[in-house]
Amino acid sequence: MDGAPPSGESNPYGFLLSRPRGLALVIDDDMHMTSLVEVLLQDANFDVTIAHRGQEALNLMGLQSDAFGDPLVPDLIVLDYEMPDMTGYEVLSRVRQADHTRKVPVIMLTATNKNINEMVQQDLDAFLKKPFDNKTFIDAIVKVLSRKT
């Protein structure tokens, strides 16, 4: 597949750094998790926007009726499953319904054991169980972006 890292690529950052700089939207209410993910994404050649609530993310992407300004169209969404205002499923559903965000790769993060099978069926590109190690996270990014190219 064009743009995919070569088989046996030992440094997935090489693939990520060879791509044009991207924009990632991180949606998670846990400030420690957003800080970790932000650093990993910046190291992987992404500018990062953070939303701590699902509604905030939907507003940023222009997916709310009261949204204002130009909608944010990220190259990657990293989405927490459990948030106080809405679930990751609800956010994902809205993302997949809109023409301008429908094809954005989504990696869902979860600390829960419930509904893992449902997550796989909800049009996710990847999901990771918290806690995860840095390599697992970077490998997931490479995998979903390789599919997109």
| 47 DSSP β-pair partners | 23
Q: Where are the domains of the chain?
A: 46-67+97-111
Type of residue numbered 117: N
**Mean predicted lDDT score pLDDT of the chain:** 86
Using the predicted structure, report yes or no on whether residue 4 has a pLDDT greater than 60. no
Using the predicted structure, report yes or no on whether residue 100 has a pLDDT greater than 80. yes
What DSSP character marks residue 85?
S
Q: What is the pLDDT of residues 64-87, one digit of tens each?
A: 876 667 899 999 999 999 999 998
Residue 7 — very low, low, confident or very high, per pLDDT cuts 50/70/90?
Answer: very low
Angstrom distance (rounded) from CA 24 to CA 45: 10
Which tokens in the block code for residue 75?
A: 């190259």
Angstrom distance (rounded) from CA 117 to CA 135: 23
